[in-house]
Structure 1
Amino acid sequence: MKKNSYLLSCLAIAVSSACHAEVLTYPDPLGSSQSDFGGTGLLQMPNARIAPEGEFSVNYRDNDQYRFYSTSVALFPWLEGTIRYTDVRTRKYSQWEDFSGDQSYKDKSFDFKLRLWEEGYWLPQVAFGKRDIAGTGLFDGEYLVASKQAGPFDFTLGMAWGYAGNAGNITNPFCRVSDKYCHRAESHDAGDISFSDIFRGPASIFGGIEYQTPWNPLRLKLEYDGNNYQNDFAGKLPQASHFNVGAVYRAASWADLNLSYERGNTLMFGFTLRTNFNDLRPALRDTPKPAYQPAPESEGLQYTTVANQLTALKYNAGFDAPEIQLRDKTLYMSGQQYKYRDSREAVDRANRILVNNLPQGVEKISVTQKARAYGDGDYRNRRSQPAQTAGRYSAWSIRATATTTC
């Protein structure tokens, strides 16, 4: 009991520390995130979400029994695939001690998720998924799942067969069709691609809630687990609770940190690294970065100057359909950045373009990158020193925040 309280305290402290940490860059709201097994999901359980098309993720998760290494890619808006390599820490590499040495058991598997119905105003998104295809069947199973977003909450409810449904908290509905659906083979030959056991064996209802906090980088998860872990390959695992809780912290646009407390007694941690091959195009023959050459300040926005800035923002900084507005003492620029994988390069170029022709009285520049997947990133540049010589700013500091779009 003391151990459980200690682990829960560690999780609470970690989340609290993340909430109060002072950082220079606040990434965009999370949206969907990767599960313990790889692929979009809750923690142990999947959801109906699929990552933005073209997203490629590298994942690592670690607990006392398993280390999960996986890569996941969203091939289409309706299909994603995951390749997973699992280190079973409680089992030797083989049944022969001398041959195994210090090596633990390793397992390879492949998963996929197929969207059956896209989310609408009233209806949820529905997906079918299959885990551990062409593997040894350690985590073999399939599921039907629905997810529906309501404001900052994303609700999930599904039914699983096989590994994720081992708790058997409901009667398999397909048993009414035929008795053959009431039994499932326990394992498969490695490399054997088979769908003969689909919808067979024990079945369980699972579900969960994800909450996008007002603080953009933090997303919280609560799930009801459909597995009881009594027939686990790592051994019969004690389960004090069917509820798992976790948090995802987006450290950068390309990196998530994950921490969860599962089965009421186990701490899981890990990370996800991601990129998206569809969003950005490399600049093979790039134009030179604008020189830092501030001109004397003008009164208000000048038509010719703004026209030249918009052209430079599009073709030099890589912002599609850029917009410039002047309100009070802030100059606002927004647009969808398509040119650079490193957004800091685009922001730096935009800064130079805007700073070189600032209207009088401007004390702050706000550069907003409109992203298709996760909302808007708002980069605000403030003059770090009030000193001003010949209409030119002596120094600038960069501070970044982000807005939330629901």
Structure 2
Amino acid sequence: MQTTLFNPLNPFTIIHLILGKRLLVLVILCSHFSCKGQPENKSYKYLKHYYTKRATKYLIKDKQVKQAFSISDSGIVLYTTPEKGHKKEVEYYLPWQHLRAFQERAAARPSEAFKYYKQKRLPQLTAGLMRPAKFIINGDPAHPLKGLRVALDPGHIAGNLAMAKKERKFIDLTLASGKRLSFFESELAWYTCRVLANLLEQKGARVILTRKRFDLMALDSTYQQVFENYRQQQAKKGIKVKRSQKWSVFFKKFRKADFNARVEKINNFKPHLTMIVHYNVDGANAPWNKPTPHNNCMAFVAGSFMKNELSATEHRFNFLRLLLTKDIESSVSFSKTILQQIVTQLNVPILPKQNNQPFINRACMGTKATGVYARNLSMARKVYGTLCFIEPLYQDNKQEIRALSNKDYELKGKKIPTRVVEVAKAYYKGIVAYLKK
């Protein structure tokens, strides 16, 4: 006998009894429906309690967020952000009777679920619609990862130190000895992903990088090229854009476009796993003009919505998607495994619960895994499925700063730090360990 037990993330229970060649499907209605086929308030009150508790656990960082949605005995409502002096309006209503249909769509085909959301439509149950199963390592010793799809997103866009300073993602300081050390995160992250991609591809996996070169945006051009094209387009409209406006234009317009291009590439690829790769600094060491003795790793998953962070339709849809699917839980599990390998392979400790990093209390919510935090980062929110937004170490740590400045490893004619290779290998081991769970 095969039994599908009650699961609040799939709360309609079906018991399949297989007797010889005959299949008897017994739908247990007593706990969910009355004799006349109408929902019972008792079961829906349970759903109200369950999802209210879940929202509190992962999603609600600030009390103001509660104004953007409601969970009642009848279902879930998302509200538009009202203009000043106007009342909020219902943007989407999901009655409990349609929970499973929307839930399955959000997990298996989230892009379709978003279309339903924007059109204020309710999906119907579809036979065979289910989330892709977790990848299982196959028995091919040469290519055990054949069939695995992994998306790698190397953070930031700078192609040189000067640009990294505009992006504010760099290290450039002089030690007490007088030695100057400098590098920038965009390059470190990209080469980490390139080495990791090589390791995965050698074992049969399919891998995409959202940036084709370390000096390119996800828009497949350098920012210099993007900006010059923008200037020319504006000039045709009679609008003069000065070169001195280059960075104000980036932060106002093209950083968001770059994020969206990354998300589109990843979600179209439909990866089993996504790694959003960054390098951190000690938040308590600002303005980062001297080394720090501290060093920690940490990871982020979606969640922890703050004040004014449900102001757009996309934000509210992803809030609902994260509430109804297991993407947060699977991401926490994946991230925990990656952190364990960082500790083992790189000797970098996990950020403890009691710490001096100012943004943790301000913007994050803890999870059951130490060092893994829910945080409403754009990439973590917009990317569908299981992901790890990883920060493996502090670039300004007194040992790491020397290691990351030492370009002593050759990769296809390019000198990169051995430390970057070590980080990539730790990620590879973490991915394999997670797939073996």
Query: Which TM-score band (shorter chain)?
Result: under 0.3
Q: Which has the larger radius of gyration?
A: 1
Q: Normalising by structure 2, report the TM-score.
A: 0.22
Structure with the higher fraction of residues in helix conformation: 2
Higher normalized strand content (fraction of residues): 1
